Chains A and B, each alone.
Chain A
Amino acid sequence: MSVIVFGLVQLVPGDPIRLALGTRFDQETYDALLARSGLGQPLVTQYFGWAGRALTGDLGVSFRSGETVTSLIAERLPATLTLAFASILVALLIAVPLGTLSALRPRSVVDRVATVLSQIGISVPEFWMAIVLILVFAGTLGWLPSGGYVPLTEDPGGWAQRLLLPAVVTGVVSGSVITRFVRSSVLEALGADHVRTAQAKGLPTRQIFAWHVLRNALLPLVTVTGVQLAYLLSGVVVVEIVFAWPGLGQLALQAVQSRDYPVLQGAILLFAVVFLLINLVVDLLYTAIDPRIRR
């Protein structure tokens, strides 16, 4: 995996040192920087140097700012985590009720409306939805700030206000995807033979629904939520930029623009690790939810 990360980043065209130095520099400075950055060495040497250091937690130093990559990432991580978890919360708040209602009344008005809404949610570009929301809620109505980020510890009110719009935009997109999954998995669970057994036992409808339908529909829901969370955690670049949200996506984009290899490599490596971690967590959750997977 680290080889792919490293290789991909090297494929980005452009000379990072030129970009770091600006338009006016002399050959000596260039050479000095080249030597210091190690970019003059063969790629294989560069890779093993980077990978070896990465294993010890040292992801190198940014070409642009001179800060360590780990500190840059650590700085951005809280904002990304906040947005990702807020978004997934919004997504689930939309998807679970909407998908369940659709499944309970297939082909009804509710179902059709939900289908259309989630189709729109999936297809509308995030930046467009973001801009519209900013225009309405920050512009016309003036209720919310148009962007930025303040840590929760400093100003809880401002934190929540600034979090709301970006979380809604990413949450609607993820929520639309999850709605479709909830609908189909609840529909499938509803048709299961054991639901009929539960009915024949004379259980109250609510109990049947909670323990014999939703409980069984949970497995696919956990899977798709995990995938969506991984996607959200690897930085929602467009939304972060529109809302001036200082997250990892923004950091990665800036790194691409300035050919800041160490930062870019660090960010991508982190995304990959996050993805693996989430998959691990999802697998662990499976065993908690489904006894058939235990042992």
Chain B
Amino acid sequence: MSAPLLEVEDLRVRLRTPRGTAHVVNGLGYTVGRGETVAVVGESGSGKSVSVLALLGLLPARVATVTGAARLDGEDLLTMSPERLREVRGPGVGMVFQDPMTSLNPVLTIGRQLVEGIRAHGEVSKAEARERAAGLLAEVGLPDPQRALDRYPHELSGGMRQRVVIAIALSNNPSLLIADEATTALDVTVQAQILDLVAELQAEHGTGVIWITHDLGVVAGIADRVLVMYGGRCVEDGTVDDVLERPAHPYTRGLLGALPDLATSDDGDLATVPGVPPAPTDLPPGCVFWPRCPVRSDPRCATEQPPLAIVPTSHRDIGGGGLVHRAATWCEEGSRG
């Protein structure tokens, strides 16, 4: 297998806050292959968004310290010069943000916002860039793209705006697309359209995709692999089948257990994971999930951070093509509930 498109190694992000240093991302490592979709799931505050913002240098430098490595096509994003990073933003990595209501500039036309992105990466005439912008809008399924170019964001619905944001992210044919909760603010029908759209574009251009979400339904629908984050750490990763069908980490099991099931849930209360995620300013010394863990039993749980280790019970040969199923837990196989 060729070298992965993106290789993240020991990514750590610390933020200075009034309440002390927040350890938001703690030693995250994963890879994304060409044309592959990796879903990153976890609760709010688990460090999902911060971990991808850090890749593109989009965290405020005054408060954020980022260490580790993130190689895109072998080139480290975290150490490259600001000018090189600017060149990578767009053609290297396109990004779609969570809230389409605020991620477009309200006082500039859609066309302008697309054209400026295209023209920032190459000698393109205004007319040519406009032509390309209209083509992109058509590609993302915006009706009447020529007219849409002269419209302002407030004249479009949320779903249409998110298509525009996706068009912007795709405008320089990025090799990696990062979608940060890109469909969370949209209603389900629009969400399905957007998911189809991205899958289509991905198949066409061979784009690698990091899809950040807390919606496990979305994960099952689009992802090749899943990375479960908790307390700024990867607690489990593997193929969608492995993680969703045979979760090894108690937290993943809790998440899956919290999914409301239309067939059986007419008896009242929804299942939850009791407790709240740890404050990033005050992480527990051992397993980050220990304070909420329903099956904690091993004495090391409270004192020693479990490493991300290969889950021995995977139903197929492990190590085949990097599709390993790993989990960071001291939890024994037998104690699975």
Which one of A193, A194, A202, A290 lies within 8 Å of B89 (CB-CB)?
A202
Chain A residues with Cβ under 8 A from B88's Cβ?
A: 202
Q: Does A33 contact B (CB under 8 A)?
A: no
Q: Does A216 contact B (CB under 8 A)?
A: yes
Contact between B102 and A192, CB atoms less than 8 A apart: yes
- Measured CB to CB, the closest approach of chain B to A54, in angstroms, equals 41
Given the contacts A196-B97, A211-B116, A292-B154, A204 and B86 also touching, CB distance less than 8 Å? yes
Q: Could you tell me how many residues of chain B have their Cβ less than 8 Å away from some Cβ of chain A?
A: 34
Chain B residues with Cβ under 8 A from A198's Cβ?
A: 105, 116
A215 CA to B116 CA, complexed, in Å: 15
Chain A residues with Cβ under 8 A from B97's Cβ?
A: 193, 196-197, 200
Chain B residues with Cβ under 8 A from A289's Cβ?
A: 107
Which residues in chain B, 99-120, are within 8 Å of chain A measured between CB atoms? 99, 102-109, 113, 116-117, 120
Q: Does A201 contact B (CB under 8 A)?
A: yes
Q: Does A212 contact B (CB under 8 A)?
A: yes
Contact between B105 and A194, CB atoms less than 8 A apart: yes
Contact between B103 and A194, CB atoms less than 8 A apart: yes
Contact with B along A176-200 (1 / 0, CB 8 A): 0000000000000000111011111
Q: Which residue of B lies closest to A203 (CB)?
A: B120
Most central of B104, B108, B121 by chain A CB within 10 Å: B108
Which one of B86, B106, B113 lies within 8 Å of A292 (CB-CB)?
B106
Which residues in chain B, 79-107, are within 8 Å of chain A measured between CB atoms? 86-91, 93-95, 97, 99, 102-107
A212 CA to B113 CA, complexed, in Å: 10
Given the contacts A291-B152, A291-B154, A200 and B89 also touching, CB distance less than 8 Å? yes
Given the contacts A200-B58, A200-B89, A202-B172, A215 and B104 also touching, CB distance less than 8 Å? no
Q: Does A207 contact B (CB under 8 A)?
A: yes
A200 CA to B171 CA, complexed, in Å: 12
Contact between B154 and A197, CB atoms less than 8 A apart: no
Which one of A193, A202, A204, A211 lies within 8 Å of B108 (CB-CB)?
A211
Contact between A291 and B105, CB atoms less than 8 A apart: no
Q: Does B56 contact A (CB under 8 A)?
A: yes
A136 CA to B53 CA, complexed, in Å: 55
Chain A residues with Cβ under 8 A from B107's Cβ?
A: 215-216, 289-292
Q: Does B169 contact A (CB under 8 A)?
A: yes
Contact between A215 and B58, CB atoms less than 8 A apart: no
Chain A residues with Cβ under 8 A from B105's Cβ?
A: 192, 194, 197-198, 211-212, 215-216
Which one of B58, B87, B171 lies within 8 Å of A199 (CB-CB)?
B58
Q: Which residue of B lies closest to A295 (CB)?
A: B155
Q: Does B165 contact A (CB under 8 A)?
A: yes
Q: Does B168 contact A (CB under 8 A)?
A: yes
Which one of A193, A194, A200, A203 lies within 8 Å of B116 (CB-CB)?
A203
Contact between B152 and A197, CB atoms less than 8 A apart: no
Given the contacts A193-B102, A194-B104, A289-B107, A207 and B58 also touching, CB distance less than 8 Å? no
A204 CA to B86 CA, complexed, in Å: 7
Chain B residues with Cβ under 8 A from A193's Cβ?
A: 97, 99, 102-103
Chain B residues with Cβ under 8 A from A207's Cβ?
A: 116, 120
A291 CA to B103 CA, complexed, in Å: 16
Which residues in chain A, 249-295, are within 8 Å of chain B measured between CB atoms? 289-292
- Measured CB to CB, the closest approach of chain A to B11, in angstroms, equals 18
- Measured CB to CB, the closest approach of chain B to A194, in angstroms, equals 4
Given the contacts A211-B108, A289-B107, A291-B107, A202 and B121 also touching, CB distance less than 8 Å? yes
Given the contacts A196-B58, A207-B116, A291-B154, A201 and B103 also touching, CB distance less than 8 Å? no
A291 CA to B107 CA, complexed, in Å: 6
Given the contacts A201-B120, A201-B168, A292-B154, A215 and B108 also touching, CB distance less than 8 Å? yes
A192 CA to B102 CA, complexed, in Å: 8
- Measured CB to CB, the closest approach of chain B to A218, in angstroms, equals 8
A204 CA to B105 CA, complexed, in Å: 16
Q: Which residue of A lies closest to B178 (CB)?
A: A200
Contact between A200 and B56, CB atoms less than 8 A apart: yes
A287 CA to B117 CA, complexed, in Å: 26
Contact between A197 and B89, CB atoms less than 8 A apart: no
Contact between B102 and A194, CB atoms less than 8 A apart: yes
Chain A residues with Cβ under 8 A from B165's Cβ?
A: 197
A292 CA to B53 CA, complexed, in Å: 29
- Measured CB to CB, the closest approach of chain A to B102, in angstroms, equals 4
Chain A residues with Cβ under 8 A from B106's Cβ?
A: 194, 216, 290-292
A259 CA to B88 CA, complexed, in Å: 73
- Measured CB to CB, the closest approach of chain B to A85, in angstroms, equals 27
Contact between A202 and B90, CB atoms less than 8 A apart: yes
- Measured CB to CB, the closest approach of chain B to A106, in angstroms, equals 8
A289 CA to B108 CA, complexed, in Å: 10
- Measured CB to CB, the closest approach of chain A to B81, in angstroms, equals 13
Q: Which residue of B lies closest to A218 (CB)?
A: B107
Chain B residues with Cβ under 8 A from A200's Cβ?
A: 56, 58, 89-90, 93-95, 97, 169
A282 CA to B97 CA, complexed, in Å: 34
A207 CA to B120 CA, complexed, in Å: 10
Contact between B89 and A199, CB atoms less than 8 A apart: yes
A193 CA to B103 CA, complexed, in Å: 5
**10 cross-chain CB contacts under 8 A:** A194-B104, A194-B105, A197-B95, A198-B116, A204-B86, A211-B116, A215-B108, A216-B106, A291-B107, A292-B154
What are the 6 closest A-B residue pairs judged by CB atoms, nearest first?
A: A202-B90, A202-B89, A201-B117, A193-B102, A200-B95, A194-B105
Please name 11 further chain A to chain B contacts, defined as beta carbons within 8 Å, in addition to the given A194-B102, A194-B106, A201-B117, sorted by A numbering.
A196-B53, A197-B95, A198-B116, A199-B56, A200-B58, A202-B120, A203-B86, A203-B120, A216-B105, A291-B107, A292-B106
